[in-house]
Amino acid sequence: MRAVDTVIRRRLESDVALIRQVAEYIIASGGKRLRPAMLLLAAGATGYGGRHHHELAAVVEFIHTATLLHDDVVDESALRRGRKTANAAFGNAASVLVGDFLYSRAFQMMLAVDDMRVMAVLADATNTIAEGEVLQLLNVHNADTDEVRYLEVVRRKTAKLFEAATRLGAILGRATAKAEEGLAQYGMHVGTAFQLIDDVLDYSGDLRETGKNLGDDLNEGKPTLPLIYAMRKGSSAQAQTVRHAIEQGGRDDFEAVLDAITSTGALEYAREQASQEAATACAAIEHLPNSKYRDSLLQLANFAVNRNH
């Protein structure tokens, strides 16, 4: 991971000072680096011994960072990882344009690997992520969004880059088709579990640990799984309260919505769904040879579900 960070900082170089400033701001703000870590572990689990995994791990992080820059503009977010978002600190225009720079730099870096399969996986992933972002936009303030539609957004917008990361590691390791597909499925299910827990933490997390305010999703009118479940299982009054909150946005109804979520067991339900996703992820790589890399992948699946930040 230190080698990946070295690549990240070297590849952020630009003679345009604002690009360096904004990119450094968000990269240095922390983050779990889960996607690049999963790429490194997948490469290790399939016996890769070269150096391209560092470059591709940085590519994956750049794509992720670009999506964060754009997302925060779309969502009008002001806080991420306990700091001002880049758009709050530098303005929307700078955030969007530096996000574009990171996307294009990522594709420049892909060329160094000189592998058409790598290019295809990353091109497909970035396109799918963009589709997921548009689908999520269509769901905002739509209280009729059901669990199937919600999960479709999660698979495309969040889980796809996890899936691409582990598939890329397998491609570098010249894995068998079975091993590659298993690692890709692992990434997709871990990514889904990760987003489900993010949605749980939006109603139960601690600002000091999550770096985000409680109720951000509600404020933006996003119908996440805890809200969908509360409407499905709650009383007609509770369902109407949650529906109104989604359609109107804002935090005015936060306490009443939180009460509906708590009394219906919505957070427990979402956690259970995340646990099932993690279990499916672990089963997908059971056939891989025993190694410290495989062990770490299994531990990461557990972390995705049991984390508090």
Segment 231-238 shows an average pLDDT of: 97
Give the pLDDT confidence score for residue 260 in this predicted structure. Answer: 96
Predicted local distance difference test score (pLDDT) of residue 113: 84
Domain boundary among 174, 206, 241: 174
264 and 206, same domain (yes or no): yes
Least confident segment among 12-16, 24-28, 110-114, 165-169? 24-28
Instruction: Name the pLDDT band for 183 (thresholds 50, 70, 90).
Output: very high
Domain boundary residue among 174, 201, 219?
174
110 lies in a domain?
yes
pLDDT in tens, 128-152: 999 999 999 999 999 999 999 999 9
For residues 176-185, average pLDDT: 98
Q: Is the pLDDT of residue 111 over 90?
A: no
Residues spanned by the domain of 269: 176-309
* Mean pLDDT computed over every residue of the chain: 91
Kindly indicate the confidence band of residue 127, based on its pLDDT and cuts at 50, 70 and 90. very high
Q: Are residues 201 and 301 in the same domain?
A: yes
Take residue 184 and report the two structure tokens written for it: 């890709």
Please check whether residues 102 and 181 belong to one and the same domain: no
> Does 147 reside within a domain?
no
Residue 69 and residue 11 share a domain: yes
Rounded average pLDDT over 162-178: 97
Query: Is 138 within a domain?
Result: no
The answer for 175, left when phi > 0, alpha when psi is -120 to 50, beta otherwise, is beta
Number of structural domains in the chain = 2
Residue 210 and residue 190 share a domain: yes
> Could you tell me the sign of the dihedral formed by the alpha carbons of 298, 158, 32, 12, in that order?
positive
Average pLDDT over residues 170-181: 97
Geometric angle at alpha carbon 243, from 239 and 245, rounded to 5°: 120
Residue 104 reports pLDDT greater than 70: yes
Same domain, yes or no: 213 and 263: yes
Beta-bridge partners for 80: 83
My answer on whether 167 and 194 are in the same domain is no
Packed helices 292-306 and 266-284: angle between N→C axes, nearest 10 degrees: 170
Q: What predicted TM-score, i.e. pTM, was given to this entire model?
A: 0.92
CATH number at residue 232: 1.10.600.10
Quick one: pLDDT at residue 237? 96
At 205, the pLDDT band (50, 70, 90 cuts) reads low
What is the end-to-end Cα distance of the chain in Å, rounded? 20
* 215 shares its domain with 302: yes
* Residue 302 clears pLDDT 80, i.e. is over it: yes
What average pLDDT does the segment 115-123 reach?
A: 94
Pair (170, 283) in one structural domain: no
For every residue of 18-50, DSSP letters joined together read: HHHHHHHHHHTT----HHHHHHHHHHHHTT--S
pLDDT, tens digit (0-9, with 9 covering 90-100), for 207-226: 455 445 678 889 889 999 99
Q: Is residue 136 part of a domain?
A: no
Residue 82 has pLDDT above 70, yes or no: no
- Work out the angle between the directed axes of helices 116-139 and 160-172 (0-180°, nearest 10): 170
Last residue of a domain, one of 144, 174, 204: 174
Separation CA 11–CA 102 (nearest Å): 9
Alpha helix ranges (H) inside the chain: 2-11, 17-27, 34-45, 52-75, 86-90, 92-113, 116-139, 147-154, 160-172, 177-204, 207-210, 216-219, 225-233, 236-248, 254-263, 266-284, 292-306
DSSP annotation of 51: S
What number is the average pLDDT over the span 252-264? 94
- On the question of pLDDT at 81 being above 70, the answer is no
**Per DSSP, what are the bridge partners of residue 84?**
79
Q: Using the predicted structure, report yes or no on whether residue 108 has a pLDDT greater than 70.
A: yes
